[in-house]
Amino acid sequence: MTVQTRRSSLRVVPAIKILLLIAVVSAVTIAVGSKNFTGEKGSRLDVTNNMISLDQGFSTAGLAATATGTSCSGNVTFTNTAGNANTAVTTGDITYDVQANTTSSSPANKCFTVTLTLTSNTGVRANYGPLYIATSASPSSGQTIDCKFDLLTTVLPPSPFSFQVTIR
């Protein structure tokens, strides 16, 4: 065998490997699917008494949680450590989260109610809560409580829908 023949056969082997790879890839079934996404139509945050709120959005609950902040006497109080108030949460359910924040002029020793109203595209309203949060005797600006509502379902309502959060 000559040097020229060996070089030719060495070039043929990679070409055969490439052709086999193309044949294997061509034989593979590629699945194509679709995924529907839901959007919201609008949102409204009503906050009184010198408080601020921040929409944290909708998500799927990764963990279950027992209800906290279920009454004014069993409220979640603002402190220098972030707090959590929530309805009973079931793993896998859709939840809505809003963060309530104190300001330098938030009233002292005040209990607030936090409610969520979700309105479907057909106009049907569903109310969640209330959750109860409260300021201490000397609230300071920037204290936070995350308020989470379980929507008691694993899917968002059909789009479009709207929601309103009220903190009073």
Tell me the DSSP string of 11-26: HHHHHHHHHHHHHHHH
> Taking the model in full, what pTM does it have?
0.73
pLDDT at 110 over 60: yes
pLDDT at 33 over 80: no
| Structural domain boundaries in the chain | 42-167
DSSP annotation of 121 reads T
- Look at residue 7 in the predicted model and tell me its pLDDT: 55
- Look at residue 18 in the predicted model and tell me its pLDDT: 73
pLDDT at 46 over 90: no
- Look at residue 97 in the predicted model and tell me its pLDDT: 96
Q: Where are the beta strands (DSSP E) in 6-161?
A: 42-47, 51-60, 76-77, 83-86, 94-102, 111-119, 125-134, 144-150
- Look at residue 3 in the predicted model and tell me its pLDDT: 52
